Amino acid sequence: MGLIVLLVVGGVIGWLASVIMRTDGQQGIFLNVVVGIVGAVLAGFIVTPLIGGAPITSGVLSIQSVLVSLLGAIVLLGIVNLFRRGAVR
């Protein structure tokens, strides 16, 4: 059951991050899920030690974990845009 919740919440987080970073038209559902989960893992390594909290990959599902994971997904899309276009945008 935890894997299904992780996939659904990761998809929503990936979709929100892609809307914020204006890359929604370039991604499908699968890539939104991947961005959400990889962004949550990235948040676990970078964002969590700085501001605390826990990403969704740790099994904790709260507002703080969703926001930390969203921040990680936004950072991930910013890094991808930097290499793809030469600007974060």
Q: What is the pLDDT of residues 21-55, one digit of tens each?
A: 988 777 788 988 999 999 988 888 887 888 877 78
Give this prediction's pTM: 0.86
Distance CA 78, CA 38 (A): 13
What are the tokens at 30?
A: 């699968």
Residue 58, C-beta contacts closer than 8 angstroms, at least 6 positions apart: 44, 65
pLDDT tens readout for residues 59-70? 878 888 888 889
Position 1 scores a pLDDT of 53
Measure the CA–CA gap between 17 and 29, rounded to whole angstroms: 13
**Of 38, 43, 32, 45, nearest in space to 68 by CA:** 43
